[in-house]
Structure 1
Amino acid sequence: MKKNAFYAQSGGVTSVINASASAVILEAKKSSKIGKVYAGKNGILGALREELIDTSKESKAFIESLKFRPGGVFGSCRYKLKSIEENLKEYERLIEVFKAHNIGYFFYNGGNDSADTALKISQISNKLGYPLQCIAIPKTVDNDLAVTDSCPGFGSVAKYVVTSTIEAALDVESMHESSTKVFILEVMGRHAGWITGASCLAQDSHPGAPHIILLPEVTFNQKKFLNKVKETVQKQGFCVIVASEGIKNSKGKFIAESDSKDAFGHSQLGGVAPRLSDLINTKLNLKNHWAVADYLQRSASHLSSGIDRAHAYEVGKKAVQFALQGLNGVMPIIKRKSSLPYKWEVVAAPLTKIANVEKKLPAGFISKDGMGMTKKARGYFQPLIEGKLPEIKNTQYKAGKMEMVTKKLHAWR
């Protein structure tokens, strides 16, 4: 008897996560072992609430169009399952839902916390007498998943930041004589500076910005920073800075940490750019402007990387193939075979080596002064932002049917 599959999206979405969804659904349809693919409405919450979207009701054209659609078409969530010891009832509920809907395959598309969720479910399913093929599908703009060379979602946000840095630098260069002297772009990155670091590729274009790159891996030194801003303005006439939201002071505290927490217990960040702006105003009296890329950087499908989209689709496709091969508790990861020319493949890696492990920028990627990147870093980043995209004439996205499966169980609270 065919088993159905459950697919869900988790955490912050990207401009290419739906390409993975498209691949999972289309690849599953080819199999004689998989029945229907049910998508969880709003991530793992869809499983707990028994809110399952029947993707078989969608047209093939709609599923194929997801390759180029940003956001998370089935809804995402920030919901971390507690440990099995703390809340066994959550896991029992998941298995109850999977049993009720004959689900034998579990695909969870997300980052570190999502990998942890998939690992926990793969471990508990056997103990509760209901074996599942559990596969975590990589997705995170932060590029901080262990083992994999890069993460789907990162290449596109990197391309957005590189392009935006070049364009903003050209703007400031035009106006610096009588107006803005300093521009600050704040980008995502709590503990790992991959996005910020990728901005170094913008230096290959005139006018050679960013002049300063501030990373979470390097302790923020106020005096050193202000001196470099001042020297750059004196020499170049203007200064462009790309700063990570997660930069910390000498005490290890986030420069822009607030008192609020997200669903995973992480401190809410945001506000590094205006704080740096205030510092430049107060100490150097230089006119400056700042911008926070925020959601724009991760949802800019029009600036997405062709390589990134290919990565996202392939890991979704391989996830299904690995499950059908009987693999469990693994993630399809990207293995770089060469950078010039860029060659890669997707292989399986155990979740025990990935879940809750955060990959930071290697020391060899960071310049000696801590405010720039090395040639080695450029060689890593460059292939990930490349790749042409087909021209999309109509940017109006269609709504899917999103037809829900009839519930069979009691409501979950």
Structure 2
Amino acid sequence: MAVKNAFYAQSGGPTAVINASACAVIETARAHPDKIGKVFAGRNGIVGALTEDLIDTSLESPADIARLRTTPGAAFGSCRYKLKSIEEHRAQYERLIEVCRAHDIGYFFYNGGNDSMDTAWKVSQLSEKMGHPLICVGVPKTVDNDLPLTDCCPGFGSVAKYVATSIREAGLDVASMARTSTKIFVLEVMGRHAGWITAACGLASGSGADSGQPPHILLFPEVPFDEAAFLARVQQCVDRYDYCTIAVSEGLKTADGKFVSEQGGKDAFGHSQLGGAGQWIAQLIKDKLGHKYHWALADYLQRAARHIASKTDADQAYALGKAAVELAVAGRNAVMPTVQRLADAPYRWEVGVAELKDVANVERKMPADFISADGFHITDKCRAYLAPLIEGEDYPPYRHGLPDYVSLKNIAVPRQLGEFKV
């Protein structure tokens, strides 16, 4: 294959380490000048490809690209935009191929989660049929940890470390005032259908649910909410410890399958917009048991907290970005590099490979044996799985007491085509 340029884009919610994958993609591509010319990044994800809004990463210095490794957010802009089926909107795919042809792009790297892997899969299948073959490789990323065929997803380990730390610290705060003030603290974390982030909060309780350490109760989307059992457990904790801390997934559902926090709207992917599960739980406790409460929404803080990123997570994010390019230059198409666990303690892992067709739109939920029999905490098996993923510190450089993050120039590639509306 002649030297071709590469397209790279970031999709969906950013993570603390998605830019580590970007760094790896660009650095590894630069190490293969015999195969890859320039790396063009899509400004705001796949939208940048459709609108021909491309960033020339060759104009960024090696030093600034290296600093991406410790910078949170999505350095080139991300998006929530899902390509429709070719039957619904052939013009999108024709435009995508037209842009790739105009800029001599032969490699397509898409860094995201379930929907992003679906996009990469579709592009890999249709590009050859549409007259411009592309080698498409997915780069996994999602704080939700719900991609199949990989032991874990880059982005999750750092969120896990953040929420476990936060609820441990908040628990100490509540415990110190519980006799005369707040007795209930609720932390709402991300997780629409899979409770991995909620489970990670459970690491803060040390030896387990019976240790008395916060969090005392975990509420997973995989476990239908039982109001009576929940309130009984809350009161039991207050009676025993004088306070109760709770971690709840945004995707908590009632027995009839409805989200307790559904707002009625939809996002760009057609998913229900969620928010307020933590407040709903806290108010329920106040109304039914009368306890004073505080609640917090981790929201963007949990996925942006590069200052407390897991070293394991940062290393894996870089390794999978590097592997994606190496797979592409070796001619592997429609694949995604994965993390394969070799051992828990000491933790060992290696890079594997999965087919995009087996990953696209498949969601991995918490296994039943990771959730305690009563549905309110994690098991030792879950703890053994999670513990290595938050190990190690990988602090960013600091300047004047604050993390010193890079801002790229993000200079646009001159457009060669007409306007395209998305």
Q: Which moved more, 1:108-117 or 1:339-348?
A: 339-348
Report 1:235-314 matches (<5 A).
235-314=240-319
Find 2:160's aligned residue among 155, 158, 161: 158
- The alignment status of 1:386 with 2:391, answered yes or no, reads yes
In structure 1, the residue corresponding to 2:38 is in which secondary structure? Answer: strand
The answer to whether the 8 A contact 1:169-1:207 is kept is no
The equivalent of 2:414 in structure 1 is: 406
2:112 matched residue in structure 1:
110
Q: Equivalent residues in 2 for 1:11-410 (5 A)?
A: 11-31=12-32, 32-204=34-206, 208-390=213-395, 392-394=397-399, 395-410=403-418
Counterpart-to-counterpart distance in 2, 1:207 and 1:59: 51
Q: CA deviation at 1:390?
A: 4.3
Cα offset for 1:208?
Answer: 1.1
TM-score scaled to structure 2, two decimals?
Answer: 0.97
Contact 1:162/1:200 (CA < 8 Å) preserved in 2? yes
- Residue type at the aligned position of 2:345: L
Residues 327-360 of structure 1, C-alpha deviations (whole Å, 9 max, x = no match): 1111001100111110111111101110000000
Matching of residue 10 in structure 1 with residue 18 in structure 2? no
The DSSP-based 3-state class of the residue aligned with 1:127 is coil
Within 2, Cα distance between the matches of 1:364 and 1:399? 44
Worse overlay, 206-215 or 270-279: 206-215
If the length of structure 1 is used for normalisation, what is the TM-score?
0.99
| Cα offset, 1:30, TM superposition | 0.7
Write the distance in 2 (CA, Å) between the matches of 1:120 and 1:5: 17
Quick one: distance in 1 between partners of 2:219 and 2:112? 26
Give the aligned length: 413
The whole-number CA distance in structure 2 between the counterparts of 1:36 and 1:348 is 25
Q: CA deviation at 1:12?
A: 0.3
Contact conserved, 2:215 with 2:247, CA < 8 A, in 1?
A: yes
Gaps of 5+ in 1: none
Q: What is the Cα deviation at residue 130 of structure 1?
A: 1.0
Q: Is the 8 A contact 1:78 1:263 kept in 2?
A: yes
Report if aligned partners of 2:12, 2:80 keep a CA contact under 8 Å in 1.
yes
The 3-state SS of whatever aligns with 2:348 is strand
Amino acid at match of 1:195: I
Q: Which runs of 5 or more structure 2 residues have no equivalent in the other structure?
A: none
Mapped partners of 2:226, 2:28: distance in 1: 50
Shift of 1:207: 5.7
Residue 388 of structure 1: CA displacement? 2.4
Identity %: 58
Q: CA 1:116–1:391 in structure 2 vs 1: closer, same or farther (change >3 Å)?
A: closer
Q: Is the 8 A contact 2:186 2:248 kept in 1?
A: yes
> Any conservation in 1 of the 2:144–2:191 contact (CA below 8 Å)?
yes
1:360 maps to a residue whose letter is K
Maintained 8 Å contact 1:170/1:207: no
1:272-319 C-alpha deviation (Å, 9 max, x unpaired): 111111111110000111000000000000111000000100000000
Per-residue displacement from partner, 1:103-131 (whole Å, max 9, x unpaired)?
00000000000000000000000111211
Residue 391 of structure 1: CA displacement?
5.6
**Secondary structure of 2:264 counterpart:** coil
Tell me the secondary structure at the aligned position of residue 15 of structure 2: coil
Matched letter for residue 103 of structure 2: H
3-state SS, counterpart of residue 93 of structure 1: helix
Distance 1:188 1:157 in 2: 9
CA contact (8 A) 1:8 1:108 kept: yes
Q: Write the deviation string for residues 183-206 of structure 1: whole angstroms up to 9, x where unpaired.
A: 000000000000001111101188
- Cα distance in 2 between the residues matched to 1:279 and 1:409: 56
* AA partner of residue 20 (structure 1): S
Distance in 1, matches of 2:185 and 2:407, equals: 39
Amino acid at match of 2:249: S
3-state secondary structure, aligned to 2:263 = coil
Amino acid at match of 2:327: F
Q: How far apart in 2 are the matches of 1:396 and 1:368?
A: 45
Amino acid at match of 2:137: I
Q: Does the CA contact (< 8 Å) of 1:216 and 1:246 recur in 2?
A: yes
CA distance in 1, matches of 2:116, 2:136: 12
Q: Is the 8 A contact 1:69 1:397 kept in 2?
A: yes
Deviations 1:42-95 (A, max 9, x none): 000000000110000001110000000000000000000001111111000000
SS at the partner of 1:406?
coil
